[in-house]
């Protein structure tokens, strides 16, 4: 046995294994296999598949492969339980969530050991990070349940939520999804990953012990086919998925037109930016937490390390030395830094991508550590000599492999950081708080950590931009994912209108009626002829032709999106300045209200209705002008010592497909909240009555609206909607129209996974303040960026 002196000289560690006898006893008690947890009880095991310990290949247990019939039984159970659970008071639901949190705390050691055996992550991560955060989520959301009526007035639970979680944080992802769903009054059918269902099944036992009513939580195990059956089930009201971007696209397409609410937390390729004034030693430790935490199997892993050129050699030398000290081995050893890769399939993927990186000329630097002979192991590694478009800089490896590049200036750092289709997270290291915050504001990511990395808390929203998905988990913003406005939920589908060719004369049309003029498109602050050169007739009262409108096409949409993209200064303008422009719009529209009333009367409206629509439009513009500098972000009260800023950021370029009815008010009701929040728009007005919107050109021209902020393209609305949905530069899209058009938009948006808001053929009352305006419009016009700023010691 070495002496203390010898140990201090060599710094060799002895083993410190965590006992797992209690977990093995639990597994033996289920030697016949696990069934599904449906309606408060476990079903008889059937169609069993094996789960193995990633560290040694040892078979741990067997679980049931869920069928469509199993999913249907679970959904029926959840549907039956929903009525009772949703009618409980928030206080009663809070007591259930609190009981679950307490039981999780009482079983922390058991759950941590089980998680490590099932997933392969080091016990100190399961013990010190995952399981405490699981309990924290249930405590936090018990609070939301208690406050639901006060904090979310006018909102109702969605219904039955289908939730699909990954294998990298099995129990934590379960908590992220189940806790807010139950707090909001929903019931749940959850499918854990087929590699790691054991802690979810242990959680089912906790639910039963806590006295949770049968059917409120249901757990169905299985592979992707089970998940697909859950997505496709018609009685599911909400799908929440965490996983790969590729599968996220498939779910977006499968759910299109179903009316299901959807949130996606997908892949990432997160930048880890080290400025030259950073504390390099601290930043090196940050890399350890960013890419070698959980073996790099983290969607927000800092896998793209960007180091300022002047300090790059020194930083890289420190990083290589630190990497050599990492201990890789038995995850149950409390002194181990890195455990095992979850499955041979994932290990093969990591190995293949690393080989491709080397084949492209990248230099692989890998720690010279002794790896165990059994199980799935990969030594920590970094790549150098790579470019922004190298495979290892572009593709999510989902393993303990980072790629290192240099940059010269902060501008170049941001440019490289944003050179990705993802936007989940970013890390910024600098001792200059101004530089750190400026970088955080410019990086396109949903979460930004300053001088830290991979910090999580139930009080702060987590989620991405771009192809990292949409929606948030955690915090106030995460609660909205499981709620819906009561008025919106109550709307009934409208019978689809008979489709008529655009410009076709209605029955009884007046032949040879006077044509006023042809309204052009409005692109980049200028009137423009449509690319096709064609126009169509617009009919008004008694079938009289009241004008012509340009027939826009794909190229016109492309031109409008380009103009909107160039108007980026609007997104960085102060809220006060944007508010002034909206007030100018209202002022100038008011001065010409008589003209707009006449226009609406020419379309067949009564004088009373025309006046009401114009007055409502004016009031709506004033309301959004007032909200522009008052719809604030928040500072979340996270558990750690941080000021966690929840900043409302504009999407950028948004597409708006306005309703056919109320052609002026419907247009104003969509455009104003979107530009108030700093977005630029490409709007398609009512196709049958577009002239009320095109009459606004001169109002915009005289109201200091910068060119490109508002672009209007008239024509076949669903054809133009599809083009906007498919356009990668369009970051979000609202569609108010038919059920078929809603499905088309949702399916076509899967390309860049833009968030959509569609009406599914349900017509709202645009004159209603409750339905036609509100903070819900503003909330949907922004994406929340959570910036973690160190605060205190």
Annotated catalytic residues are 265, 299
Token pair of 481 as six digits = 């994912």
Of 148, 112, 113, which Cα lies nearest the Cα of 130? 112
CA distance 220 to 139: 25
Tell me whether residue 26 is exposed, middle or buried, using C-beta atoms within 10 angstroms of its C-beta: 0 to 12, 13 to 18, 19 or more.
middle
Within 603-664, where are the H helices?
607-627
- For 59-64, which contacts have Cβ atoms below 8 Å and span 24 or more sequence positions? 60/27, 60/117, 60/118, 60/198, 61/27, 61/30, 61/33, 61/34, 61/198, 62/33, 62/34, 63/33, 63/34, 63/194, 63/197, 63/198, 63/201, 63/221, 64/33, 64/34, 64/35, 64/36, 64/221, 64/222
CA distance linking residue 204 with residue 691, whole number of Å: 59
Dihedral of alpha carbons 271, 122, 49, 36, sign: negative
Cα dihedral: 342, 345, 350, 356 (round 10): 180
Question: How many residues can be counted in the chain?
Answer: 793
Distance CA 464, CA 690 (A): 36
Which pair of structure tokens corresponds to residue 696?
């606004």
Quote the CA–CA distance of 734 and 13 in Å, as a whole number: 58
* DSSP for 414-483, written as a single string: HHHHT-SS--SEEEEE-S-HHHHHHHHHHS--SEEEES--S---TTS-B--SGGGEE--BSHHHHHHTTE
Helix (H) or strand (E) holding 484: strand 483-485
Q: Are 397 and 77 in contact (CB under 8 A)?
A: no
Task: Kindly list the strands in the beta sheet with 545-550, ordered across the sheet, starting from the edge strand earlier in the chain.
Answer: 518-519, 545-550, 535-539
Helices (H), 185-264: 198-209, 224-232, 245-255
Element (H, E) at 318: helix 312-324
Q: CA 592, CA 697: separation in Å to the nearest integer?
A: 12
Q: What phi and psi, each to the nearest 5 degrees, are found at residue 505?
A: -70, 130
Element (H, E) at 648: strand 642-650
Contacts of residue 41, defined as CB under 8 A and 6 or more positions apart, other chains included, come to 208, 214
Residue 113 CA to residue 755 CA, distance in Å, equals 38
Please say whether the beta carbons of 553 and 523 come within 8 A.
no
Q: Are the beta carbons of 354 and 341 closer than 8 angstroms? A: no
């Amino acid at each position: 046995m070495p002496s203390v002196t010898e140990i201090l000289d060599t710094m060799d560690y002895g083993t410190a294994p965590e006992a797992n006898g209690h977990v093995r006893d639990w597994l033996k008690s289920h030697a016949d296999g696990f069934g599904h947890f449906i309606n408060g009880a476990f079903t008889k095991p059937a169609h069993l598949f094996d789960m193995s310990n990633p560290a040694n290949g040892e078979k741990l247990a067997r679980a049931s492969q869920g069928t469509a019939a199993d999913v249907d039984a679970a959904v029926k159970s959840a549907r039956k339980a929903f009525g009772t659970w949703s009618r409980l008071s928030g206080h009663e639901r809070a007591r259930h969530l609190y009981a679950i949190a307490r039981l999780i705390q009482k079983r922390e050691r058991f759950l941590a050991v089980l998680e490590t055996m099932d997933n392969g992550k080091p016990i100190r991560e399961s013990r010190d990070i995952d399981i405490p955060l699981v309990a924290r989520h249930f405590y936090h959301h018990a609070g939301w349940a208690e406050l639901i009526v006060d904090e979310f007035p006018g909102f109702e639970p969605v219904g039955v939520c289908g939730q699909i979680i990954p294998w990298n944080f099995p129990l934590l992802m379960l908590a992220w999804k189940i806790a807010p769903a139950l707090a909001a009054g929903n019931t749940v059918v959850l499918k854990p990953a087929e590699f790691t269902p054991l802690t979810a099944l242990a959680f089912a036992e906790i639910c039963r012990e806590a006295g949770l009513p049968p059917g409120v939580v249901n757990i169905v195990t299985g592979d992707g086919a089970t998940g697909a059956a859950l997505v496709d089930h018609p009685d599911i009201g909400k799908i929440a998925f965490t996983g790969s971007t590729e599968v996220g696209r498939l779910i977006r397409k499968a759910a299109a037109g179903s009316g299901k609410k959807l949130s996606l937390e997908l892949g990432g390729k997160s930048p880890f930016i080290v400025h030259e004034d950073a504390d390099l030693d601290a930043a090196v430790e940050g890399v350890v937490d960013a890419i070698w935490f959980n073996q790099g199997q983290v969607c927000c892993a800092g896998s793209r390390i960007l180091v300022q050129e002047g300090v790059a050699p020194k930083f890289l030398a420190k990083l290589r030395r630190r990497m050599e000290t990492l201990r890789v081995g038995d995850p149950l050893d409390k002194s181990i830094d890195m455990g095992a890769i979850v499955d041979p399939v994932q290990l093969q993927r990591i190995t293949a991508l690393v080989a491709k990186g080397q084949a492209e000329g990248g230099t692989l630097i890998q720690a010279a550590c002794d790896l165990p002979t059994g199980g799935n192991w990969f030594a920590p590694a970094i790549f150098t000599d790579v470019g922004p478009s190298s495979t290892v800089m572009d593709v999510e490896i989902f393993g303990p492999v980072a790629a290192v590049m240099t940059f010269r200036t902060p501008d170049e750092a941001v440019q490289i950081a944003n050179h990705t289709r993802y936007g989940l997270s970013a890390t910024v290291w600098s001792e200059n708080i101004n530089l750190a915050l400026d970088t955080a504001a410019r990086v396109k990511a949903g979460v930004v950590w300053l001088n830290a990395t991979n910090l999580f808390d139930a009080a702060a929203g987590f989620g991405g931009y771009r192809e990292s998905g949409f929606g948030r988990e955690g915090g106030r913003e995460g609660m909205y994912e499981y709620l819906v406005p009561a008025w919106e939920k109550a709307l009934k589908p409208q019978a689809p209108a008979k489709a008529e060719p655009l410009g076709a004369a209605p029955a009884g049309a007046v032949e040879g009626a006077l044509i006023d003029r042809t309204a052009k498109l409005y692109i980049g602050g200028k009137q423009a002829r449509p690319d096709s050169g064609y126009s169509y007739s617009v009919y008004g009262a008694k079938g009289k032709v009241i004008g012509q409108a340009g027939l826009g096409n794909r190229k016109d949409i492309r031109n409008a999106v380009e103009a909107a993209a160039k108007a980026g200064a609007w997104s960085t303008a102060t809220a006060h300045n944007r508010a002034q422009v909206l007030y100018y719009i209202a002022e100038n529209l008011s001065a010409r209200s008589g003209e707009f009333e006449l226009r609406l009367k020419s379309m067949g409206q009564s004088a009373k209705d025309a006046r009401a629509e114009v007055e409502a439009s004016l009031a709506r513009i004033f309301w959004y002008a007032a909200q522009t500098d008052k719809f604030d972000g928040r500072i979340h009260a996270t558990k750690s010592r941080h000021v966690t800023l929840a900043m409302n950021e504009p999407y950028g370029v948004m597409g708006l497909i306005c309703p056919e009815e109320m052609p002026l008010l419907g247009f104003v009701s969509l455009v104003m909240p979107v530009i108030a929040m700093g977005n630029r728009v490409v709007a398609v007005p009512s196709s049958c009555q577009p002239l009320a919107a095109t009459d606004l050109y001169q109002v915009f021209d005289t109201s200091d609206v910068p060119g490109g902020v508002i672009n209007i393209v008239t024509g076949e609305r669903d054809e133009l909607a599809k083009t906007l949905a498919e356009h990668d530069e369009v970051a979000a899209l609202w569609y108010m129209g038919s059920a078929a058009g809603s499905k088309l938009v949702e399916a076509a948006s899967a390309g860049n996974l833009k968030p959509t808001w569609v009406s599914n053929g349900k017509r709202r009352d645009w004159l209603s303040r409750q339905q036609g305006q509100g903070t819900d419009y503003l909330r949907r016009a922004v994406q929340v960026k959570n910036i973690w700023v160190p605060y205190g010691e």
